[in-house]
Amino acid sequence: MASDLMNVGATGKYYKVQSNGKAQAGLSIGDRVVTNSGTYQILDVNADGSYKSALYDENMTTKNYTGKYANGYNPYSNATSLSDETKNNIKDLYNGGYEADKYKEKYEEINSKRPDKYESAYKEQINDILEKLENREEFSYDLNSDMLYQQYKNQYVSLGQTAMSDTMGQAAGLTGGYGNTYAYSAGAAAYNNYIQQLNNMIPELYENARESYQEEGNELYRLYSLYVNAEKSDYEKYRDDVNDWQSERDYYYKEYRDEIDRERSDYFNKLSIMQDAAKTESSDYWKNIENENEKWNQNFKEKQFEYEKYLDGLKNISVKISKTSSKGKKATASIYDDALQAFNDGGENGLMMIADKLSGSGYDKSSIDDVLQYARRYGKKSDKKSSSGKAGFNSVLVDLFNYRG
């Protein structure tokens, strides 16, 4: 069975390969073609009308497929000895098929609600604080730029001048109103006393300025820590939302796949009952099947030798690869989502960044290739052009019947 990722792009339509070994013209991407050697899914339609495809299920062949063919074929179509009732019952089953819509709709609804890309609400504030911290100058103290010192200076100079004037006046009064050396000395002493008080305040003003500088720095660090913690909390909540979304999506995808299996099993059980009735009534069925198989065997043998030759070469390559490769991790559903988002946002450049990251994290090459193919196939910017390089195993198998109408 091919990867479940192929089910995402499938149309659910099955076509029986033509008797000439080719798929009919006009098929679409996601259609499946049932052949004698397995069932293939159309991945792309080339400009000339030929198809690029991959093996979907090697065990589902024209020999055992009992579902509905979109091109109207069923193994009982040409039977001539069936009763009308049996024919009608089988026709209704083939035309009706089976559906699994209950969980499919829920899965598609949730899958479309992937959380938006995370955007920081505090990026500007954090960067602004970091810039202030990085550009912050070392502490220095300048009396002339200290407004508080200037206020004290004006105050004490004024008080000193007043004291000097009063003292000189008092000294002059003692000498009959005449100035003398004593009066000047006493006035200067009074003035200098206030100037000394001003100077005594400088150490205190210095410490105040230093404390203010430190408090400013502490406040910047406090704000930085506050914003960083808020950022961390927001991102953790975002990751929780993404994880919850992925869990819910994976749950409904599993339920959807289980529903398909249940509906398919129930459908095939009903069909088997009618087939048994038809086989009992009609020998034409087995004759038609035998003729169909003979045609297929003839066509298949013509391709078998070429395929086995290629397979031998592939084995040699696989041996060389196995000697140099190591066991790596397998990609999870969330990695497919990240690759798809990277391709939608950044095209091939974004996709290559994802590939480099996965390679450096120990994921094996086949998983990485599968992730890249999925992103290109289902991404918004996928150009659907066939990639050049080494052919994959499934694409080589397609050559066995050459999908072309």
User: Does residue 227 register a pLDDT over 90?
Assistant: yes
pLDDT digits (tens, 9 = 90+) for 33-70: 999 889 999 988 888 888 888 888 888 888 788 777 77
Q: What is the predicted pLDDT for the residue at 379?
A: 80
Higher pLDDT, residue 310 or 62: 62
Q: What percent of the chain has pLDDT over 70?
A: 74
Signed CA dihedral, 98, 104, 106, 108: sign only? negative
User: Does residue 382 register a pLDDT over 60?
Assistant: no
**CB–CB of 36/297 below 8 Å?**
yes
48-52, 77-81, 115-119: segment of lowest average pLDDT: 77-81
Q: What is the mean pLDDT of the segment spanning 290-302? A: 77
Quick one: tokens of 328?
């790596």
Higher pLDDT, residue 175 or 290: 290
Q: What percent of the chain has pLDDT over 90?
A: 13
For residue 108, the one-letter residue type is E
**CB–CB of 8/378 below 8 Å?**
yes
Q: Any long-range contacts for 280-283 (C-beta under 8 Å, 24+ apart)?
A: 281/81, 281/82, 281/83, 281/86, 282/76, 282/79, 282/80, 282/81, 282/82, 283/81
Question: 176 falls in which pLDDT band (50, 70, 90)?
Answer: low
The region, left, alpha or beta by phi > 0 then psi within -120 to 50, assigned to residue 348 is: alpha
Q: What is the predicted pLDDT for the residue at 76?
A: 56
Quick one: tokens of 282?
């009609």
- Helix (H/G/I), strand (E/B), else coil: 177: coil
Residues in the chain: 405
Q: So where are the chain's domains? A: 5-81+282-398, 123-245
Q: What is the mean pLDDT of the segment spanning 92-107? A: 72
205-214, 250-259, 274-283, 329-338: segment of lowest average pLDDT: 274-283
User: Does residue 394 register a pLDDT over 50?
Assistant: no
Sheet-wide strand order for 14-16: 14-16, 32-35, 38-45, 51-57
User: Does residue 389 register a pLDDT over 60?
Assistant: no
The region, left, alpha or beta by phi > 0 then psi within -120 to 50, assigned to residue 149 is: alpha
Report pTM: 0.37
For residue 148, the one-letter residue type is L
Q: What is the mean pLDDT of the segment spanning 221-241? A: 92
Q: What is the mean pLDDT of the segment spanning 305-322? A: 54
C-alpha–C-alpha distance, residues 334 and 15, integer Å: 33
Q: What is the predicted pLDDT for the residue at 362?
A: 83
- Helix (H/G/I), strand (E/B), else coil: 38: strand
The shares of helix, strand and coil residues in the chain, as percent rounded to the nearest 5, are: 65, 5, 30
Q: What is the mean pLDDT of the chain?
A: 77
pLDDT digits (tens, 9 = 90+) for 144-155: 888 888 898 889
Q: What is the mean pLDDT of the segment spanning 342-364? A: 87
CB atoms within 10 A of CB 391: 12
CB atoms within 10 A of CB 164: 20
Question: 315 falls in which pLDDT band (50, 70, 90)?
Answer: low
* Per-position b or e across 189-211, b if 16+ CB within 10 A of its CB: ebbeebeeebeebeeebeeebee
Question: 130 falls in which pLDDT band (50, 70, 90)?
Answer: very high
C-alpha–C-alpha distance, residues 201 and 149, integer Å: 8
